[in-house]
Amino acid sequence: MRSRLIWAVAGAVAAFAASAQEVGTRLPNGVTLLGADTAPCRDTLMIEPNVGARGDARLRDDEARVREGQFIVLEVDDPNVGWVCLGESTRSDTMECPSETTHVRISRNIDDDVVLFECFGR
């Protein structure tokens, strides 16, 4: 009985971990890279919450932050994604993607202060 409980808990943890990784981390099949750009950001990058999510959905605060070693995939209506680099000298800018952009991937390398913005579309 005890081993069944352990396997049930292990299965539930594995299922939760797998589902947590799916949210906002995958590009859909069939999209093509339309353009890319980089920007310096030493600290946390925050995506403007009113820009980015398709439809009426808005980004939660924890989804809108991209730290070193992280990335996020956004499905977008507006190809211009606003962002703010938080830290000592807070600065903001906009990634301007081509008009046919449907998804934007924003990634941070763990080894440097560079943010990579990639625009994808069908």
Domain extents in the chain: 27-121
Predicted confidence (pLDDT) per residue in 49-69, tens digit: 654 444 444 555 556 788 899
Using an 8 Å Cβ cutoff, are 117 and 38 in contact? yes
Predicted confidence (pLDDT) per residue in 2-12, tens digit: 555 444 444 44
Joined together, the tokens standing for residue 69 give 């070693």
Dihedrals phi, psi of 12, to nearest 5 degrees: -65, -40
pTM (two decimals): 0.69
Rounded Cα distance, 94 and 29, in Å:
26
Rounded Cα distance, 32 and 120, in Å:
5
DSSP-derived secondary structure letter, 25: T
Helix (H) or strand (E) holding 75: strand 71-75
